[in-house]
Amino acid sequence: MGYKVVVAGATGNVGREMLNILAEREFPVDEIAVLASRRSLGTEVSFGDKTLKTQDLATFDFTGWDMALFAIGSDATKEYAPKAAAAGCVVIDNSSLYRYDPDVPLVVPEVNADAVLGYSKKNIIANPNCSTAQMVVALKPLHDRAKIKRVVVSTYQSVSGSGKEGMDELWDQTKSVYNPVTEVPPKKYPKQIAFNVIPHIDVFMEDGSTKEEWKMVAETKKIVDPSIKVTATCVRVPVFVGHAEAINIETEDFLDEDEARDILREAPGIMVVDKREDGGYVTPVECVGDFATFISRIRQDATIENGLNFWCVSDNLRKGAALNAVQIAEVLGQKVLKKG
Ligand SMILES: NC(=O)c1ccc[n+]([C@@H]2O[C@H](COP(=O)([O-])OP(=O)(O)OC[C@H]3O[C@@H](n4cnc5c(N)ncnc54)[C@H](OP(=O)(O)O)[C@@H]3O)[C@@H](O)[C@H]2O)c1
């Protein structure tokens, strides 16, 4: 016997990827419902070798469904997640709405799988921000060995991180640079994204940081360890899929770069590709469609006593969203619901 699974936001970037990953990982599904807004009623989406028609989330009855994987943005989540949860369906949510709620676990299975057990207070489990998810997978094993005191991270985030509209804007603007007849002014982003980089993701906070940067700080503390200090600069780059991060860590105990490389090689969810030669590292286009978080360029930071630098790349629609959500569903199944 398998699960009755709902995918809400099935026409979006993350929703489509969740369907792909449920099929790829042969998640034990007995019945599946795909939902989106009324605008998309009847739109066809793929699930393995099947084609499914989307239903309207607004009129869907969650009674009798085991779990619902949500990827519909915070506003719609606010309206529909409590309804699904009240009907007894466990919500695994990709939006930021519940991430900082003390009664909702924020889970990256390689790091804090047991936190899933805290789902029952609200019947909701939160998935972290894409840039946090890939970073904490790498931080956790290093923290366990040498206790990380401080992290300095700069991100290079792809446009798929801001949904279908972000991808369309990069595509259309890139074409318009070659064919200036059709001007494509910035709409989704505050400045031109084609052939440019923008040091601004999400809204500005009072202290001058952005909400995306704040999320990396708050979520790392909730998932890994509240004592870790994080400072982040988040940058949108003209890449379609795949986030990259330059990460610097300062640890309590000395950690040699070779030992760090060995630890990361053994760590779940990580692939180390670190050859000190031309092309001996991973770039975003190479990580697309993969489950792993790739680590390259591991090296000592000689400017402090106990410091390391490394490069971290992952498919933001997978580990940063859809894969992590499906992994949470797997843990929920194994530890709690126990079907399949
Ligand atoms: N992209 C990433 O890397 C990433 C990473 C982590 C978390 N997330 C989060 O995942 C969520 C979805 O992101 P995305 O990139 O997949 O966005 P997207 O490509 O723009 O897709 C949005 C999806 O939500 C549906 N939707 C929007 N408003 C709705 C409503 N009122 N009722 C029902 N369905 C509604 C859309 O349906 P229609 O097609 O009918 O409009 C569509 O299926 C967001 O909360 C985002 O913050 C994204």
Residue 1: band (very low, low, confident or very high) from pLDDT cuts 50, 70, 90: confident
Mind listing the pLDDT tens digit for each residue in 204-248?
A: 999 999 999 999 999 999 999 999 999 999 999 999 999 999 999
Residue 182: band (very low, low, confident or very high) from pLDDT cuts 50, 70, 90: confident
The pLDDT value recorded for residue 88 is 98
Cβ-count burial 144-164 (b if 16+ within 10 Å, e if not):
eebebeebbbebbbbbbbbbe
Beta strands in 110-195 (DSSP E): 124-126, 148-157
Mind listing the pLDDT tens digit for each residue in 58-76?
A: 999 999 999 999 999 999 9
Q: Which residues make Cβ contacts (< 8 Å) with residue 150, sequence separation at least 6?
A: 228, 229, 230, 231, 249, 250
The minimum-distance atom of ligand 1 relative to the CA of 40 is: 40
Mind listing the pLDDT tens digit for each residue in 136-156?
A: 999 999 999 999 999 999 999
Q: Which residue has the tokens 């923008």?
A: 198
Report the separation in Å between the CA atom of 272 and the middle of ligand 1, taken as the mean of its atom positions: 31
How far does CA 45 lie from the centroid of its chain? 21
Catalytic residue among 89, 143, 234, 243: 243
Gap between the Cα atoms of 40 and 277, Å rounded: 48
234 is an active site residue: no
The pLDDT value recorded for residue 189 is 98
The pLDDT value recorded for residue 181 is 79
Residue 23 · residue 7 · CB < 8 Å: no
Q: Which residue has the tokens 């924020």?
A: 106
Residue 172 · residue 184 · CB < 8 Å: yes
Q: What tokens appear for 78 in the block?
A: 């606010």
The pLDDT value recorded for residue 134 is 98
Pocket test for ligand 1, best of 6, 7, 13 (most atoms within 8 A of CB): 13
Mind listing the pLDDT tens digit for each residue in 74-124?
A: 999 999 999 999 999 999 999 999 999 999 999 999 999 999 999 999 999
Res. 179: pLDDT tops 90: no
Please give the share of the chain, as a percent, with pLDDT higher than 70: 100
How far does CA 220 lie from the centroid of its chain? 13
